[in-house]
């Protein structure tokens, strides 16, 4: 048992699934908890693509951290950016705020997308990791159709209405399917001069199949389901270049104004802070109890941790892994504070993998059970509703999904910066390009300008 009269200080960095699980598991265990996050909300990331495609609003999938943990009197919330850790002095450094001491440190900082050494591509492609990213994707999608509606050049219309999604994992599959439904089921009723159903959606995967972590039959079903929605699936198509005009992959150029990057991930720099061994993606290699070797008072969990499962392969970057990590680390620290023996080494309990493809289409891998189509879709809906934080979010999402099912509508189709629509003469740095004279005449019907 801790003999210091002062209560142990536990600092948790990150309020994702892992960080929140750890904070909840430690409350009432005799420690003072400080939870630090760059934002003031917990984000339900599995539904982020629905915000990006106007199916849900930002507030539907995010909840204030203070509201979630308001009943934990031993927990303090701090909104700030952690920029370093001094493990020798046992302090966490928060940008523009100061230093905070700890007795136990839990790093749950998550991951960002990796550009595989091509960081310049970030200027021309959009990622999907935060609410700001989702708002940017939604803006690009909706404004592309608005620009196409006002355009008279058929080639430019085709470029505007071509959307490229890079990455054939669950996020890429879900985003591509949702874009297809947005164009073919919702926006088709909103425009007069263009035909949204003629939008081209390309899903590119560098590997030989989609959803590589799923069984092969589910991958094959996913390709067929996407094809039925009009999505072009490119396999073994590594990206070679992304620029302002589109993307080059498999030796072919696709002209597009909207490229969405859903490929590999890289852990945030926790390993650098600690000088610890890291995996190829930058994740901290942790011991069986999730502690960082050489730092038994520091724990890493979720996407920022690299740990092998029972099959000898690294655990996947799933919310379920992070949550189970968080609960386990809370037990480890609570046992140390109470002077009890440590729990057995962490063992991930695989609850299955899910991916939704579109309306009534999904895949579910639940151990030996594999589901596709409508049953998998219903199961996906139920699981995600139950995992959402807060009754209000569950109710609002349920109502929105029900409305969308019966009406094919998407109520969050708002462009919040309308002054920039059509401003393709303004580049990323805000510098104005010289505008060339354009033909301002508009054709009378959509058939005259629809992409061929």
Which residues belong to the active site? Answer: 174
Query: Three-state SS for 325?
Result: helix
What CA–CA distance (Å, rounded) separates 368 from 32? 43
Q: Say how many C-beta atoms besides its own lie within 10 A of residue 108's C-beta.
A: 31
Spatial distance between the Cα atoms of 172 and 212, rounded to a whole number of angstroms: 12
Helix (H, G, I), strand (E, B) or coil at 266: strand
Q: Cα(104)–Cα(33) distance, rounded to whole angstroms? A: 10
- Measured CA to CA, the distance from residue 322 to residue 214 in angstroms comes to 19
E strand map for 274-336: 284-285, 291-292, 295-300, 305-306
- Report whether 81 contacts 97 (CB < 8 A): no
Give the integer Cα–Cα distance in Å for 169 and 383. 19
Nearest-angstrom CA–CA distance, 26 and 337: 10
Distance between CA atoms of residues 287 and 236, nearest Å: 35
DSSP tag of 58 = G
Residue 275: which region, alpha, beta or left (left: phi > 0; alpha: psi -120 to 50)?
left
Query: Which secondary-structure segment (H or E) carries 322?
Result: helix 319-338
Could you tell me the maximum CA-CA distance found in the chain, to the nearest angstrom? 82
What's the CA angle centered on 185, arms 182 and 186, to 5 degrees? 60
* Burial of 385: CB neighbours in 10 Å, binned 0-12, 13-18, 19+: middle
């Amino acid at each position: 048992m801790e003999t210091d009269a002062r209560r142990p200080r536990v600092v948790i960095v990150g309020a994702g699934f892992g960080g929140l699980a750890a904070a909840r598991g430690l409350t009432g265990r005799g420690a003072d908890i400080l939870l630090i996050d760059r934002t003031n909300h917990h984000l339900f990331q599995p539904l982020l693509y629905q915000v990006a495609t106007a199916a849900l609003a930002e507030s539907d999938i995010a909840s204030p951290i203070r509201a979630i943990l308001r009943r934990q009197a031993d927990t303090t919330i701090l909104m700030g950016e952690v920029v370093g850790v001094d493990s020798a002095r046992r302090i966490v450094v928060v940008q523009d705020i100061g230093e905070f001491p700890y007795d136990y440190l839990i790093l749950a900082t998550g991951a960002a997308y990796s550009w595989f050494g091509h960081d310049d591509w970030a200027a021309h492609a959009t990622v999907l990791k935060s609410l700001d990213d989702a708002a940017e994707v939604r803006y690009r999608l909706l404004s592309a159709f608005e620009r196409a509606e006002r355009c008279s050049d058929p080639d430019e219309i085709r470029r505007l209405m071509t959307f490229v999604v890079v990455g054939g994992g669950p996020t890429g599959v879900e985003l591509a399917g949702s874009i297809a439904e947005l164009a073919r089921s919702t926006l088709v009723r909103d425009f007069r001069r263009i035909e949204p159903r003629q939008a081209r959606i390309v899903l590119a995967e560098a590997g030989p199949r989609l959803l590589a972590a799923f069984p092969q039959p589910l991958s094959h079903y996913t390709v067929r389901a996407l094809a039925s929605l009009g999505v072009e699936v490119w396999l073994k198509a590594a990206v070679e270049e992304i620029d302002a005009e589109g993307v080059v992959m498999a030796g072919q150029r696709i002209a597009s104004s909207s490229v969405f990057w859903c490929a590999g991930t890289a852990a945030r720099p926790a390993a650098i802070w600690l000088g610890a061994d890291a995996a190829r993606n930058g994740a901290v290699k942790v011991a069986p109890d999730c502690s960082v070797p050489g730092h038994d008072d520091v724990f890493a969990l979720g996407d920022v941790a690299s740990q092998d499962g029972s099959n000898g392969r690294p655990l996947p970057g799933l919310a379920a892994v992070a949550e189970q990590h968080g609960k386990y680390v809370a037990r480890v620290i609570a046992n140390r504070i109470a002077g009890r023996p440590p729990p057995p080494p962490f063992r991930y309990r695989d609850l299955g993998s899910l991916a939704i493809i579109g309306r009534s289409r999904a895949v579910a891998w639940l151990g030996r059970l594999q589901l596709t189509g409508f049953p998998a879709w219903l199961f996906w809906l139920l699981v995600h509703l139950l995992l959402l934080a807060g009754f209000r979010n569950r109710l609002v999402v349920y109502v929105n999904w029900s409305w969308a099912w019966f009406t094919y509508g998407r109520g969050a189709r708002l462009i919040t910066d309308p002054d920039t629509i059509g401003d393709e003469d303004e580049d990323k740095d805000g510098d104005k390009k010289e505008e060339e004279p354009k033909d301002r005449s508009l054709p009378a019907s959509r058939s005259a300008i629809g992409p061929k």
